[in-house]
Amino acid sequence: MEHLERDVVVIGAGPSGLSAAYELNKAGKSVAVLEARDRVGGRTWTDVMDGATIEIGGQWISPDQTGLYSLINELGIETFERYKEGKSVYLTEEGEAIAYEGADFPVAESTVAEMDKLVKLMNELAADMDPDKPWEHPQAEELDKISFHHFLRQHCTDELACNNVGLFIAGGMLTKPAHTFSALQAVLMASSAGSFDNLVDEDFILDRRIVGSMQGVSKAMAERLGEDIVFLNNPVLKLEWSEDAVVAHGSSITVSAKKVVLAVPPNLYSRISYVPALPRKQQITHQHQSMGLVIKVHAVYETPFWRNEGLSGTCFGPNSLVQELYDNTYIGEETGTLVGFISDLNADAMWELDEEQRRAAILKAMAAYLGEKALEPKVFYLSDFAAEEWTRGAYATSYDLGGLHRFGPAQNENVGPIYFSSSDLAGEGFQHVDGAVRMGRRSAARIIAALDGTTYDQSYDGVATLTAGKDKVNA
């Protein structure tokens, strides 16, 4: 067993842990990162499947995600625009595929009016929220007591309008059924993206992609940090701590440090044995943050055939098995790639089927939008983060009904030398790579202030790098 002494040990080499380590390293603090997997990037992961490069995890970046933008600018990584030309397709409850332009779904005018009313309401509620402190919203308690499903129906009697609006947050973001999370949690999702308008605008929220891959952002940080800092295949299952010291036990390395950044998803906090146990507040809080469940479907075709038919590849169907579909062709590729999403209860049902039945059901649902050509991809792959021991779901964790205002205030409090850092604890960029970066940088800033005896600026949003202009100092 190798033993290291460092100022800070970071547990988890996803974008949050690596952003923290990167900033700490540039600020002259000695760091070690212990990662459970044999790769960095966590929920961002790119691999080649049957000859096709697949973004298995997180991939899109939106204009408001300025924490991630500032990081990629620093790393010299570029972005490209998602293919957006042509009409979108909406699948009605009766299974009719309707091509349409503009922001409004092709539904009855009265339903559009009801949807607009709900969107306006969500925008107003989001405008009153500081995403860093959703529990301080003037209606926090009231909104946290009601499920998003019931909240929508409290304000609207048009079932289709409720389903269409619900889709953007339930299936589309938190990937949980709308009856399992609160209206407050839904408002946070909107507020974290700037507004509900931003969230429902796929051209905003799924604006651009990273040249190379999103995992490449983590790889670039890990490369700059070097092999003497980032240690793979080292799950930490035991963390000893006192007020001013920790010992993190990986499988082949132990690290003694003054501080620890715990950058694993919140649902995995309890995978670690803490000696002594964490305080009561954290032990309870951590039981109420659970992962959503979504299957990301990748289908690669000889050509992006839908483009020739004047379609963008963007499809929505609140009653479909595949509720969203997008053109995910990488720039310059001749083949065409579609990416679809199967959320929560539909995902449960899919994992009950055998592989052949599952493939047939999913492709049939995709063909309902884009025609029979969708039935025959040359590569078909399903992202299955729920089966991954070091994630256990997708995209991210959120609180159960009533949990956000009850437990949220404790989520970012450090416990002695332990600092929690995850996209799932972020305000702006909540559940996104941007939030992971912001949280990593903020954890680093708090630790630097604590180690240096200076004051941490509470208003720091994780957008500006802490050490602009400095390169790796420990080289």
Enumerate binding residues for ligand FAD (CB under 6 A): 11-17, 34-37, 42-44, 57-60, 235-236, 263-265, 268, 271-272, 296, 383, 385, 390-391, 394-396, 422-423, 431-434, 436
Shortest distance in whole angstroms from residue 167 CB to ligand FAD: 16
Shortest distance in whole angstroms from residue 313 CB to ligand FAD: 16
Shortest distance in whole angstroms from residue 265 CB to ligand FAD: 5
Structure tokens at 217: 């952002």
Shortest distance in whole angstroms from residue 163 CB to ligand FAD: 23
Shortest distance in whole angstroms from residue 259 CB to ligand FAD: 16
Cα pseudo-dihedral 136, 176, 300, 307, rounded to 10: -60
DSSP secondary structure letters along 272-296: SEEESPPPHHHHHHGGGEEE--EEE
Are the beta carbons of 324 and 315 closer than 8 angstroms? Answer: yes
Shortest distance in whole angstroms from residue 182 CB to ligand FAD: 20
- Measured CA to CA, the distance from residue 98 to residue 452 in angstroms comes to 61
- Measured CA to CA, the distance from residue 354 to residue 177 in angstroms comes to 24
List, in order, residues 6 or more apart from 438 with CB less than 8 Å away: 67, 426, 428, 429, 461, 462, 463
Cα–Cα distances (Å) from 145 to 160, 165, 184, 398, in that order, read 24, 20, 8, 15
Structure tokens at 235: 């799950």
Task: Determine the residue with CB nearest ligand FAD.
Answer: 14
**What count of other Cβ atoms lies within 10 Å of the Cβ of residue 146?**
17
Three-class HEC string of 419-442: EECCHHHCCCCCCCHHHHHHHHHH
Shortest distance in whole angstroms from residue 298 CB to ligand FAD: 10
Structure tokens at 208: 């651009």
For 236, the 3-state DSSP assignment is coil
Are the beta carbons of 90 and 316 closer than 8 angstroms? Answer: yes
Cα–Cα distances (Å) from 139 to 136, 154, 193, 257, 404, in that order, read 8, 15, 19, 42, 13
Shortest distance in whole angstroms from residue 169 CB to ligand FAD: 15
Spacing of C-alpha 410 from chain mean position: 21
Structure tokens at 56: 């298995």
Are the beta carbons of 39 and 290 closer than 8 angstroms? Answer: no
Residue found by looking up tokens 């992961």 in the block: 45
Shortest distance in whole angstroms from residue 162 CB to ligand FAD: 25
Provide φ and ψ at 97, rounded to 5°. Answer: -90, 120
Shortest distance in whole angstroms from residue 395 CB to ligand FAD: 4
At position 474, the amino acid (one-letter code) is: N
- Measured CA to CA, the distance from residue 267 to residue 398 in angstroms comes to 9
Shortest distance in whole angstroms from residue 400 CB to ligand FAD: 19
- Measured CA to CA, the distance from residue 169 to residue 174 in angstroms comes to 6
